[in-house]
Amino acid sequence: MSVKEILKDKASSVLSIEEDRNVLEATQMMVGAKVGSLIVTFEGKLVGIFTERDLMRVVAKDHANLDKIKLKDVMTTQLTVAGPDEDVDDILNNMITKRFRHMPVLDGDKIIGLISIGDAVKTKLNKTQAEMHILREYMYGPH
């Protein structure tokens, strides 16, 4: 199963915020949308991601100034991104190996989605269950 198939089942909008906005604004946006990360952009182009982990680092270091700290100064910029045709197994393996939970999806340089490790696990589980059902029918006949 490919990444674009996962994106079909998700909301079509990608939450993003410009890099010159502050940590408090990003946090309020994340809480309001009930998400764990935001795509960070500069003039509409992907430049980073701001995650719950990034927030925790900022809070631990300087919790009193969340409204003054710019995202560009604390966001994660070393990103691994996915393309729409990449296989979910490869995405999941990459996330587990590199220990991150959110992966932007780009088509060329256009941001088309964000895949979480939860999305990848859910897709893998659904695929495995479907395969098990087919094998059971093959072995034992339809139920």
User: What pLDDT, in 10s, does the model give residues 59-89?
Assistant: 999 999 999 999 999 999 999 999 999 999 9
Query: What is the CB neighbour count within 10 angstroms for residue 92?
Result: 18
Q: What is the pTM of this model?
A: 0.85
Instruction: Report the distance separating Cα 5 and Cα 34, nearest Å.
Output: 23
SS (H, E, C) 88-112: HHHHHHHHHHHCCCEEEEEECCEEE
- How confident is the model at residue 143, as a pLDDT? 66
Q: How confident is the model over 105-116, as a mean pLDDT?
A: 93
pLDDT digits (tens, 9 = 90+) for 2-46: 898 889 877 767 899 999 999 999 999 999 999 999 999 999 999
Query: Residue ranges of the domains in the chain?
Result: 3-140
Q: Where are the alpha helices (DSSP H) in 1-140?
A: 3-8, 23-33, 52-62, 88-98, 117-140
Q: Which fold has domain 3-140?
A: CBS-domain (3.10.580)
What's the rounded Cα separation, in Å, for the pair 57 and 63?
9
Nearby residues of 5 by Cβ (< 8 Å), 6 or more positions away: 88, 123
